[in-house]
Amino acid sequence: MIAPHFYLKPLLPFLINDGRFYILAFSQKEIRLLQGTRYTIQEVLLPEQVPESLAVTLQYDKLQKELQYHSTASGALKEKGGRHAMVFHGKGESDGATEHLNRYFHQINHGLHEFLHDETVPMVLAGVEYMMDEYRKGNTYPHLVAGGLAGNPDEMSIQTIHQRVWPIVEPTLSQAQQSALAQYQEYAATEQASNNISLIVPAAHAGRVATLFVVRDQEQWGHFDPATGSIEVHTSAMAGDDDLLERAATQTILHGGSVYVLDQSTDIGNQLAAAVFRY
């Protein structure tokens, strides 16, 4: 079926709240940002501001200290014999290591901030315990999950990380969906919610859908004209039809709404879609 607009349904698992989450896997040698859903996992290209490793941060810190020293030395009084007086900060090796690690995590957090600033999905840490503890101290992403995957992620494939992280993040994801379903059921008998696709699609185009539920692996064929607001729903695909579920989901996402995929329709009155409206 050739639709008259770009068909986004294959991309929806990466855009909707269907178990989507991030994994920040880090060690001293490597940083990986992974994006997953219940059944998929892929590595995300990191922003340039995120350091490649702790070694890169150490090289930067070393350069900065050398520049600072030369700047201090050039204006400092000389010792007897013409040597410049050196400045010692009095930090022990342990304190210095912690300082470097904090600098490393600050750069990671800062680099991810712009990338994640509009996101509301959970993020799980993967790394050795002490590194995860230090990262949490400076984290600014509000949706960081309390638990994490302990161990060296460098020794794990992304598939292994995905398999081990899912039980950690699944309760958080389920809670969000259950809360959204409870809200729908509260409003189901009012005009603030509907499971009628003929009402949902126009509302989604108008930006009125706050939360949308669609049943997994289902299609509802029909035709919607945004110019007139007219809609036709068909029992089977006809020439010029769109999948109205995909249209509703795409428009809900474009207008900042949330979309959840359900495994069954019983929670939404045995229909293929349901929505909670903003107004």
All structural domains of the chain, each given as residue ranges with its CATH number in brackets, are 21-174 (3.30.420), 188-277 (3.30.1330.30)
pLDDT digits (tens, 9 = 90+) for 135-177: 999 999 999 999 999 999 999 999 999 999 999 999 999 898 9
Tell me the pLDDT of the chain averaged across its residues.
84
Largest Cα span, the chain: 95
Q: How confident is the model at residue 73 (pLDDT cuts 50, 70, 90)?
A: very low
Determine the straight-line distance between the first and last CA of the chain, rounded to whole angstroms.
34
Residue 214 has pLDDT above 90, yes or no: yes
Of 26-30, 32-36, 78-82, give the lowest mean pLDDT range: 78-82
Q: Which residues contact 31 (CB under 8 A, 6 or more apart)?
A: 24, 25, 46, 50, 51, 52, 53, 108
pTM, 2 dp? 0.65
Half-sphere exposure of residue 235, counting CA atoms within 13 Å on the CB side? 0
Higher per-residue pLDDT: 24 or 263: 24
Q: How far apart are CA 161 and CA 139, in angstroms?
A: 21
Residue 186 has pLDDT above 90, yes or no: yes
Residue 23 has pLDDT above 70, yes or no: yes
Of 42-56, 128-142, 161-175, 241-255, give the lowest mean pLDDT range: 42-56
Residue 76 has pLDDT above 50, yes or no: no
User: What integer pLDDT is reported at residue 5 of this predicted model?
Assistant: 54
Q: Give SS3 for 278.
A: coil
Q: How far apart are CA 21 and CA 173, in angstroms?
A: 8
Query: In sequence order, what DSSP letters do the residues of 203-238 get, joined into one string?
Result: HHHTT-EEEEEEETT---EEEEETTTTEEEE-SS--
Amino acid at position 221, single letter? W
